Amino acid sequence: MPKKSMTSPTVARTNPATKKWSRKPNNSRVLAERRTRAVWRRSGNMERVGAIWRRATASLDQYSRELKDKIEGTRRH
């Protein structure tokens, strides 16, 4: 599939009546989002990201638990 340039008629088209540029709904943000998703699917790094995320949240949970224990301990005395 050939890569479309940003000035292709599917992205922005002039209205012949007003001679103004009108933007079609598939704006650059949507296009960029679609592109990044495609990249993620290709590289299969969502699993990697998921693993990193799980590891980070696990350590965070552990840290919060330890902190809570510490607070509880200080409250008891």
**How many domains, the chain?**
2
pLDDT at res. 40: 62
Which domain range does residue 67 map to?
46-77
**Residue 56 and residue 28 in one domain:** no
pTM to 2 decimals? 0.29
Whether residue 22 contacts residue 14, with contact meaning beta carbons closer than 8 Å, is answered with yes
Q: Is 59 in a helix, a strand, or coil?
A: helix
Q: Are residues 4 and 34 in the same domain?
A: yes
- The model's pLDDT over 7-62, given as tens digits with 9 standing for 90+, comes to 545 545 555 666 655 556 556 777 777 777 777 666 666 677 778 888 888 888 88
Same domain, 58 and 34: no
Say if residue 25 is in the same domain as residue 7.
Answer: yes
Shared domain check, 20 and 5: yes
- Tokens 């990044």 correspond to 36
What is the CB neighbour count within 10 angstroms for residue 53?
A: 11
| Tokens coding 56 | 């980070």
Pair of tokens at residue 42: 């290709």
What torsion, rounded to 10 degrees, do the Cα atoms 69, 72, 73, 77 define?
180
